[in-house]
Structure 1
C-alpha cells in the first residue's frame, strides 16, 4: 500500500495556472479559439493554442510566445503580454496568421516554441 503525501497546497492551482486558464477562457469566449492549459513536469505552465503556437508563463505570470514567422529567420522572435486580455488579442491575430498556412508547411517550417519546450523538458526530466 502506498501513501500519498500530497498536501492541499500541492493540489491548489498555482497563480500562473489561474492566469493561463483565464487566457484560455478569453480565447474561447472572445475569439472562438480553443486552447488547453498544461503544467509541465518542470512546473512551468503553458497554453497550447495551435501547432507551433504555445504560450508559456514566466515567474511573474507574464505570457511569452514565439511569433509565427514565415521567412528565412533562423531564430525565434519572442513576444510577450502582461495581461490575459492583451495576450488573447495578440495570440488571436497570430492564430489567424498561422491558420492561413497549410499544416504541412508549419510542420516542416522553422523554429517553434514547442521545440524550446521539448528541449527544456528533456533537460529537467529525470533519467
Structure 2
C-alpha cells in the first residue's frame, strides 16, 4: 500500500474509481475521517486516499504541484488511447502525451490537489 494526500476523500474516491477505473478496496467511516483505498483491477497494490489537511501534507503537495511534479506514476498499456478516453471524461492534463526516451508520458490533474503521471513503455 502507498498513499496519496487528497483534499477531499469522497471526491478523490469518485475520481479514482469512476474516472480512472480503479476498484474500491476499503471504504471505512472512522467517524471524523474515512479510510479509503483503491487499486487497479488485477493488481495487488492499494492506493490510500489520505486526508491532506496536515501542515506537512499541505506543504508537500503544494511543493510538488508548484514544481509541476506528479505525486504518483501509473503505467498504462496504451497511453494515447487512455489520454483520449480521459479527455472525453473532462480530465484536465497539464502535459499531453510526449516521448521521453523509452517511455511515453502524460500528466493529469486528479481534481483533489495532485498531478498524476501516466506512462507507457515504448518498443
* TM-score for both structures, normalised by structure 2: 0.30
Of structures 1 and 2, the one scoring higher in RCO (CA 8 A, sep 6+) is: 2
* TM-score for both structures, normalised by structure 1: 0.30
**More helix, by proportion:** 1
**More strand, by proportion:** 2
